[in-house]
Amino acid sequence: MSTETGIKRVAVVGTGVIGASWAAYFLAQGLQVSATDPAPGARERLTEAVLRHWPTLVESGLETGASFDNLSFHDTLEAALEGAQFVQENGPERADLKLALFARMDAALDQNVVIASSSSGLLMSDVQAACRHPERVVLGHPFNPPHLIPLVEVIGGRRTSAETIQRTLDFYRAIGKRPINPKKEVKGHIANRLQAALWREAFHLVAIGAASVSDIDDAIAYGPGLRWAVMGPFANLHLSGGEGGMRHLLDHLGGPIESWWGDLGMPVLTPELKQKVVDGIDTELANRSDTQITTERDELILAMLRAKAAAASIP
C-alpha cells in the first residue's frame, strides 16, 4: 500500500483497456480502487480484465493487503470520486469529452486531490482550462499495459503546480512505477513520439517493398530491440563508441546517421498500404493465438524486469 504518500484510495475513471489495467495494478499494490465507466457492460468487462491480469500480478509480487475485494464499481462519476485521494482518468481521446469530464471531476473533488490523465496525446494545458483548480491537473501517461510496464510520463500543463508534479512522481514511485518528468508539453509526449518515428519508417519500408512485415518485426525484436530492452538509445550509442564513448561515436558516425535521417520515408496510410500491413501481420502470426502470445510476452517482460532490477550498473 502507498503508505509513503498517504494515498490509500484511488478512483479509476474510464475502465477500458488502459483503465482496467491501471485498476488491476492499483489493487495489486494494496490500494482501494473505486471505478466508473458509463459504457454498457463496463462493470463486467472490468471484472473480467482484472481477473485476467491477476496471475501476472501475483507472479510479479502482490503488496500487503492486495485483494480483488478492494475493487468497487460505481454507476456515477461522483460516487466513484467520493473519498478518492488520487484520480487516474482514462477517458476517450476526444478534447470535448475530456474537457467536460475534467470539469465534472474538478467540481466534485476536494481541491487537494490530484487528477492525473492517461491521455496519449492531449496536452494538459488545454484540458486544465476546464477546471477551477487547474494546478492539480497533470499528465500521468502509462505505457501499455500499465499493470506490467513501469514507465509513466508525468508532465504538467502551464498552470500545473510544482507541488502537484512532485506529489504525482512520489505516488507513482511509491507503487513501483518508473516515472519520468519531461519539461515540455509536446503532442504524443515522449515515448509515443519515439514509437511513431520507428513506425513511420517501418510502414515506409513495407510501402516501397524493401522488407516484409515479418522481416521488420524480426529486425527489431532480434536486433536493436534486445538492446533497447536493457538500456535506452543514448546509453546504447555510448557503448557503441567503445573507449571513446558517445563523443567517438558521434564524431565517426554522425555524418552517416544524418544521411540516413535524410533518406527516411514519409508514408501515407493509403487503403493499399493498410491492407498490405494487415495481410503481412496475418501471415506472420498465422496459427498463433493472440491470448497465448500475450501470455508469453508478459512472462518474458517480467523476466526482463526481474533481471534489470538485479543489475547493479544498468541505468
Write out the chain's pLDDT in tens, 315 residues.
455 789 999 999 999 999 999 999 999 999 999 999 999 999 999 999 999 999 999 999 999 999 999 999 999 999 999 999 999 999 999 999 999 999 999 999 999 999 999 999 999 999 999 999 999 999 999 999 999 999 999 999 999 999 999 999 999 999 999 999 999 999 999 999 999 999 999 999 999 999 999 999 999 999 999 999 999 999 999 999 999 999 999 999 999 999 999 999 999 999 999 999 999 999 999 999 999 999 999 999 999 999 999 999 999
Query: Directed axis angle between helix 42-60 and helix 17-28, to 10°?
Result: 50
Q: Which residues pair with 142 in a beta bridge?
A: 152
User: Which CATH entry fits the domain spanning 9-180: 3.40.50.720, 3.40.640.10, 3.60.21.10, 3.10.180.10?
Assistant: 3.40.50.720
CATH 3.40.50.720-classified regions of the chain: 9-180
Tally of CB atoms within 10 A around 146: 27
Which three cell numbers mark 68? Answer: 480483488
Using one digit for the tens of pLDDT, what is the confidence trace for 121-162? 999 999 999 999 999 999 999 999 999 999 999 999 999 999
CA separation, residue 210 to residues 201, 207, 222, 229 (Å)? 11, 8, 18, 26
Whole-angstrom distance, CA of residue 123 vs CA of residue 158: 10
CATH class of this structure's domain 191-310: mainly alpha
CATH 1.10.1040.10-classified regions of the chain: 191-310
Which three cell numbers mark 252? Answer: 565517426
Q: Among residues 279, 282, 280, 269, which one has the least CA distance to residue 203? A: 269
